[in-house]
Structure 1
Amino acid sequence: MIRRQRPGPLTRRAALALLAAPAIAGAEARFPDRPLRLVVPFGAGGNLDTLARLLTPAVAERLGQPVVIENRPGAGGNLGTELVARAQPDGHTLLLGSNGALVINPLIMERVPYDPARDFLPVCLCFRTPQVLVASPKLPVRSLEEFIAHAKARPGQLQCGSAGTGTSNHLNIELLNAATGIGLVHVPYRSSGAATPDLLSGALACSMEQVTTALPLHRDGQLRILAAALPQPLPMLPEVPSLAAAGVPGGGLVSFIGILVPAGTPSRLIAALQAGFAGPLADPALQARVEETGSLLADPATRSPEGFAALLRQEAVLSRQAAGQAGLLLH
């Protein structure tokens, strides 16, 4: 007669693990299981913050958990971006990332406390906020072609404003200079829109502005939008050409806004988050509300992790080129 041995400690643990497996699998399937924290690395009321608050109610409804926006401004977006880079990769802390912190700052700043390629995984591109070349009403031009001819006849004489040295606005000016040889003189201001008084008075010939700032003044006839930094014309201004018409590669740099998570976040969580954020972007009502602000929804191809990653690589190449032309490249 063969006696059965009583199970030893390892066997007992294995049995307990088997009993617990369905419960563990069920817990893993529940994501998110608490509110999501969306870090916006700029202050409340700005463009990123406004767009985040337009999108997150629909995302919360899809994911079944609140999305809490946490504004962490400072160091050109680096403070909030670093916060997410150091967060637990459990899918519950997200970054609303944009050009400056993810692409430009690592090229032109001495020290950036994170590595965008190493420390983050892209989830979904959500928005694009185009920039536009705006002419003073005192400038005797009505089109991009006339502007280029006017500037070429006055090399080094026309001053062009931006939101600051090293911003994507500034880099677009450098890309336009390189493509056309018109020699615009860059004048940095403290923010987008700060150049408006000088444009209106004629003290400044032109400026590279966010379309959100320039569009109302263009429609009122106070300023003139000559071109858009997009591969194609703006949907809200189809008569305005792209900077690609002047030979600027890809039409220039576009301020992009998307969702990223800390590196190490499991792929199944990224897939769930992508569905939660990309789903509402197909809503025509949201599209209309976003376009009222002057921004655009991301193209469907860039709403996937792979599509967003491809865009980040493309923007990094173009930003490096422009930063080199501006004499700002440090890395």
Structure 2
Amino acid sequence: MAGRVSAKRSLRIVGALLVAGFGALLGYFVWNTYSNPSLIHSYPLTLGSAKWIAPQTEAPQGYFRKSLYLPRKVTHAWIKVVAPDSYTLTVNGQGVAKKTFHAVNIGGLHDITPYLRTGKNVISVLVRRVTYPGTSKILVEGVYVDNLNQETRFVSDETWKVKTVEERQGSGIILWTSTSFDDGNWPTAKVLGPSDKERIYPLNVEYGATEESVTAIEIPPTHPELILNAPSGAWIWYPDPEVRTAHFRKSLDLSRGVREVWIRLAASQRYNLEVNGVHVASTNESISPSSSTESQTTSLTNVVTATTPINPVSPLSSSPTTSSTSQV
């Protein structure tokens, strides 16, 4: 494993099937953050071919819409958004994120997998610019991967629709963020220029930070790689199909400590996650216990760096008490 170094740590997962990619996934994130300390302080936000777009008429507030038509089920999707002052991101009428950082271009990276569906989808971004003169505008880059592993990328460009005032339809029942809303009469966005035209602040900027303190912020959000990359692990399970509960164990060698450790896993049944005997997570009640596509991401940084090393165990072992199927 790429991230192996020395001081033994033990991770134990009790439940049905765990996402087998656990070893590779966790090892990668431990190695990546240790080898690249700068990632702890800021996560640079690049947006490829995305362009700044704005309303045709300058206005401090903009209602931006983009329709996507998905022929197959989406297994993984994310979106990057940059806007001045503040933005509110909505997908198919469901609120995804709201970010505010006055007087600068603030960016965000968001997992939108749970919000997309087959057929028509609508990405909506409300931008409010309140601290200094100028028009509302956005930069957007997104990716979705379907169940045939085909990747599609979309960016902010002249195909987006935008209005400077909020509209509703159907006697006020149909909101502008809804897939039922007809934006056929909306004007298309005006392209202002490429994404490198202005400074974009890193992803871990917190509200209230000053320009001088931005690079000193050390409290990171979820590591970007956890959102950008789909789970890569294989499903693992106890060989006896009659067993309904299994105990999965994995040991990692970590010398000199680590800066960040994350685990993302899914299971066919409810589970408990322990690190060095410390309980750190259980199945999220919002996730269906029978789902094989939904997963949870948990930070292990505080547990791994704060606990006392224990004796190593075998690379992977499971003991049945009562089994099922899982993926890490």
More strand by share: 2
* TMscore range, shorter length: under 0.3
Q: Give TM-score scaled by structure 1 length.
A: 0.27
More helix by share: 1
Q: Which has the larger radius of gyration?
A: 1
Higher relative contact order (CA 8 A, sep 6+): 2
Q: Give TM-score scaled by structure 2 length.
A: 0.27
